[in-house]
Amino acid sequence: MEKFTVVVMEGDQTGQELLEEGLRVLDPSLIGVDLELARFDLSLENRRATKNQVVHDAAAAMKESGFGYKAATITPEIPGDVGSPNAILRKGIDGTVIVRTGRRIPGITPVAGVYAPISVVRMAVDDAYGAKEWREGEGVDEIAYRTEKISRKICRGVAQYAFEQARKTNAKVFGGPKFTVSPVYEGMLKEEMDLASKSYAEVKYEPQLIDATYALLMNTSGEPLVIPALNRDGDCLSDLVLQMFGSIAGSESILLAFDEQQNPKTVMAEAPHGTAPGLYGKNVANPMAMILAAASLLTFFNTKEADLASRAIYESTLEAVVEGTRTADLGGTASTTEFTDEVIRRMKTKLEVWKTLA
């Protein structure tokens, strides 16, 4: 059996607690996949102590192994501090896109009757994040400036992956940037969307300005969608989309780096939410996102054992919710560990039964 190394990036507060829950469903003795975990401490304390060297080390290890699993981390607000590790990780593995998919959580009433899945495919680097910023002048005459950039390469990666995702899920590519107001900057992504559409003639394509995308999302229901987006647009969109389905903790977040043939070469899975300091130490946070992130990561191993384990995690998680095991954010009373316990109980049954039927 092939052995896989997963770079585990530890985090802060509730993020670390939920990481440990997610690692429980990746136990090799449970899933039947030979995993080795290479752990890196990305807590705020250690990032400060190492001046972010631990983040660079984790990125290098992830690029070598091809797989990463990250906890939520604190981003300090103090200027000149270590900042967020995400930008370093994304750049370190040559990350191109971040994918977050909102999907119906059984038994949970979504907003506006939405039930078909919606994937947001956004830039992983550039745009508003990492922009150069400065101010000039004083008092009421002070002016703030920002210089942003995007590249044709990243735009092409976002557009092509959006159409590939839509092809696989029988979805429509929908939305886009504000290309009418910003034809040079934001228009670059629209150009690549139009170009990709020619290679995917079988995929429905309905470009919309970003403001219209937000408005029309509130009227969607029955058609699966894939939305390509700039970095910050996609960050905001994905939070909205996930909450439309009932909880931002109801889905995973995937960072992808591609080879020259546009095949994934490095994958980092994480939760889309933050460290939730108000829930720290209370054993009440929803571990769904970290558990589903583990399931999604396994799909990139491309082995039968990993695919079965991933399916078992996905099904067990959603079945647990629909049959009443829910944390407080979903209207239930289950603790964090109780929810994971129930998922694992169901996984064991499924994997044992499937082994018998194989």
Q: Is the pLDDT of residue 307 over 90?
A: yes
Q: Model confidence at 206, in pLDDT bands (50, 70, 90)?
A: very high
Q: What is the pLDDT of residue 200?
A: 97
Q: Is the pLDDT of residue 222 over 90?
A: no
Q: Is the pLDDT of residue 1 over 80?
A: no
Q: Model confidence at 81, in pLDDT bands (50, 70, 90)?
A: very high
Q: Is the pLDDT of residue 112 over 80?
A: no
Q: Model confidence at 166, in pLDDT bands (50, 70, 90)?
A: very high
Starting at the earlier edge strand, list the strands of the sheet with 253-258: 34-41, 3-10, 67-70, 264-270, 253-258, 97-102, 118-123, 225-229, 172-175, 205-207
Half-sphere exposure of 49 (CA within 13 A, CB side): 7
* Residues ≥6 apart with Cβ < 8 Å to 316: 342, 343, 344, 346, 347, 350
Q: What is the pLDDT of residue 40?
A: 98
pTM for the model stands at 0.92
- Taking residues 232-260, what's their average pLDDT? 92
- Taking residues 52-76, what's their average pLDDT? 97
CATH topology of domain 1-98+256-357: Isopropylmalate Dehydrogenase (3.40.718)
Q: What is the pLDDT of residue 246?
A: 84
Higher pLDDT residue, 247 or 91?
A: 91
- Taking residues 191-205, what's their average pLDDT? 97
Give CATH 3.40.718.10 domain extents, the chain: 1-98+256-357, 110-245
Q: What is the pLDDT of residue 130?
A: 80
H helices of the chain, in order, are 13-24, 28-31, 44-50, 53-65, 85-92, 152-169, 187-199, 210-217, 231-244, 288-298, 304-322, 336-357
Pick from 159, 176, 171, 6: which is nearest to 97 by CA?
159
For residue 341, give the 3-state DSSP assignment: helix
Q: Is the pLDDT of residue 221 over 80?
A: no
Q: What is the pLDDT of residue 274?
A: 92
Q: Give the model confidence (pLDDT) of 243-256 as tens digits.
A: 998 888 889 999 99
- Taking residues 137-155, what's their average pLDDT? 96
Q: Give the model confidence (pLDDT) of 308-326 as tens digits.
A: 999 999 999 999 999 999 9
Q: Is the pLDDT of residue 306 over 90?
A: yes
Residues 92/59, Cβ–Cβ less than 8 Å: yes
Residues 103/247, Cβ–Cβ less than 8 Å: no
Q: What is the pLDDT of residue 65?
A: 97
Q: Is the pLDDT of residue 44 over 80?
A: yes
What is the Cα–Cα distance from 121 to 268, expressed in whole angstroms? Answer: 15
- Taking residues 207-220, what's their average pLDDT? 92
What number does CATH give the domain 110-245? 3.40.718.10
Residues 21/336, Cβ–Cβ less than 8 Å: yes
Percent of the chain with pLDDT over 90: 86
Q: Model confidence at 80, in pLDDT bands (50, 70, 90)?
A: confident
Q: Give the model confidence (pLDDT) of 331-357 as tens digits.
A: 999 999 999 999 999 999 999 999 888
